[in-house]
């Protein structure tokens, strides 16, 4: 049976700290404010709130849900678990996968989802503040799932609601250039499944390639990889798009070895997993555009498959442009479409855990599937 009680000891209360004090806390301390009474996550806002044990629990639960969902009886069971709940998906930044996989996860668990995908349709156009908008959502829904261009909006919403009569859970579905914690969860789940027969994620060499400065998926995943012994990371990017020093400091303090290089192609024969990313030029601003570089040097071509080890995998959070040749898609090492589907299962597991339905799922699994 899943036991979350070990996380209880650290629990702190958001309504007992000012926003200014909370905002300044180190991320590892902030994490203590996102736990609920039973030790499970309540808000899911930053990658730093996950530890090895919670990652393992969520991955196990995702697999159970995936297996249960194979039959009509299983789907019927899952769809009754949270039939009494409603979720608001507030996505003011473009999204296909995160939006739809959360939407599908809600449907799997019986939650009725609603959506705002463009704030021009909300009363914010009449001058209402973002915080008042979020408080309005919390009046009608039991869970808020937010994608925002602003770095701290989800955290601020969680803090603000903690001082109201409806402090509903908040899930960060991507915030600014900074965090994408649930993408990191699905990436860990994909790595774990990919290396199931090779001793797990432990000891693997993960190569990140592309826009690592502004790619929030890499920033969140790098942090989660510190929980797996003997992992090493290579960050392959043009100078201006190299990973941030804040992430390197976190790797240093966890003792995870890493290398920085501008020569992606030389890393391919040494990789267990290649994690490609898109150049995030939506963040370019006038006067702040990275120097030109040869995009092909940071792309994975069909020719590169010949130099990739047979047991390695190619991942991508998607969407892609030209950084992976579609000719690679049918190679068994290309797992990015599976990775995308894994998002639906791990997000189902996360929502079921937030609403404390995880043990019921495990009981059903033990009685009917195992
Ligand atoms: N990986 C990811 O966040 O994709 P979307 O932007 O399509 O949600």
Token pair belonging to 197: 């027969």
Instruction: Confirm or reject: Cβ of 74 under 6 Å from ligand 1.
Output: no
C-alpha–C-alpha distance, residues 71 and 74, integer Å: 5
Residue pLDDT, tens place only, 50-75:
999 999 999 999 999 999 999 999 99
Closest CA relative to residue 44, chosen from 102, 121, 96: 102
Residue nearest to atom 1 of ligand 1 (CA): 317
Token pair belonging to 329: 């898609």
Please say if the pLDDT value at position 1 is more than 60: no
Q: Which residues pair with residue 114 across a beta bridge?
A: 88
| pLDDT in the model for residue 57 | 97
Closest CA relative to residue 366, chosen from 61, 107, 82, 85: 61
Pocket test for ligand 1, best of 97, 190, 218 (most atoms within 8 A of CB): 97
So where are the chain's domains?
4-179+342-362, 181-282+294-340
Residue pLDDT, tens place only, 252-264:
999 999 999 999 9
Burial level of 366, CB count in 10 A (0-12/13-18/19+)? exposed
Domain 181-282+294-340 listed as CATH 3.40.50.1370: yes
> Which pLDDT band holds residue 7 (cuts at 50, 70, 90)?
low
| pLDDT in the model for residue 286 | 63
Closest CA relative to residue 31, chosen from 46, 19, 51, 16: 46
Q: What is the dihedral of CA 89, 93, 96, 102, to 10 degrees?
A: -20
Residue pLDDT, tens place only, 273-328:
999 999 988 887 766 677 778 999 999 999 999 999 999 999 999 999 999 999 99
Architecture, CATH, for domain 4-179+342-362: 3-Layer(aba) Sandwich (3.40)
| pLDDT in the model for residue 126 | 94
Please say if the pLDDT value at position 2 is more than 60: no
CB 83 within 8 A of CB 110: yes
Is 181-282+294-340 the same fold as 4-179+342-362?
A: yes
> Which pLDDT band holds residue 4 (cuts at 50, 70, 90)?
confident
* Ligand 1 atom closest to the CA of 93, numbered from 1: 6
370 Cα: distance to centroid of ligand 1 (angstroms): 33
The torsion angles phi and psi of 114, rounded to 5 degrees, stand at -130, 165
CB 240 within 8 A of CB 298: no
The torsion angles phi and psi of 88, rounded to 5 degrees, stand at -105, 125
Angle CA 112–67–362, to nearest 5: 80
> Which pLDDT band holds residue 9 (cuts at 50, 70, 90)?
low
What value does the mean pLDDT of the chain take?
A: 95
C-alpha–C-alpha distance, residues 67 and 88, integer Å: 27
> Which pLDDT band holds residue 5 (cuts at 50, 70, 90)?
confident
């Amino acid at each position: 049976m899943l036991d979350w009680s070990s996380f209880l000891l650290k629990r702190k209360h958001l309504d007992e700290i000012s926003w200014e004090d909370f905002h300044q806390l180190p991320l590892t301390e902030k994490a203590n404010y996102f736990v609920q009474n039973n030790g499970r996550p309540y808000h899911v806002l930053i990658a730093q709130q996950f530890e090895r044990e919670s990652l393992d629990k969520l991955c196990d639960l995702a697999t159970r849900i995936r297996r249960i969902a194979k039959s009509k009886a299983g789907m019927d069971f899952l769809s009754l678990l949270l039939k009494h709940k409603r979720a608001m998906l507030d996505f003011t930044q473009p999204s296909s996968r995160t939006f739809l996989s959360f939407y599908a996860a809600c449907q799997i668990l019986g939650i009725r989802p609603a959506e705002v995908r463009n704030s021009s349709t909300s009363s914010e156009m009449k001058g209402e503040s973002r915080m008042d908008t979020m408080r309005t959502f919390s009046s009608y829904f039991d869970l808020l799932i937010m994608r925002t261009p602003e770095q701290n909006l989800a955290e601020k919403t969680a803090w603000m609601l903690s001082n109201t009569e409806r402090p509903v859970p908040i899930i960060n579905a991507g915030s600014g250039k900074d965090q994408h914690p649930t993408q990191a969860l699905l990436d860990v789940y994909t790595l774990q499944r990919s290396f199931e027969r090779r001793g797990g994620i432990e000891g693997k060499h993960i190569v990140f390639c592309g826009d690592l400065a502004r790619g929030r998926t890499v920033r969140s995943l790098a942090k989660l990889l510190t929980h797996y012994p003997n992992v090493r990371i290579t960050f392959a990017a043009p100078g201006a798009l190299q990973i941030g020093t804040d992430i390197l400091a976190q790797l240093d303090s966890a003792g995870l070895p890493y290398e920085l290089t501008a020569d992606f192609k030389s890393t391919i024969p040494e990789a267990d997993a290649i994690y490609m990313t898109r150049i995030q030029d939506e963040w370019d601003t006038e006067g702040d555009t990275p120097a030109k570089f040869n995009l092909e040097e940071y792309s994975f071509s069909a020719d590169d498959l010949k130099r990739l080890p047979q047991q390695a995998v190619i991942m991508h959070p998607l969407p892609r442009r030209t950084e992976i040749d579609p000719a690679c898609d049918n190679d068994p090492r290309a797992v990015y479409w599976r990775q995308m589907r894994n998002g639906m299962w791990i997000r189902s597991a996360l929502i079921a855990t937030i609403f404390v339905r995880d043990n019921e799922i495990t009981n059903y699994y033990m009685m009917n599937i195992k």
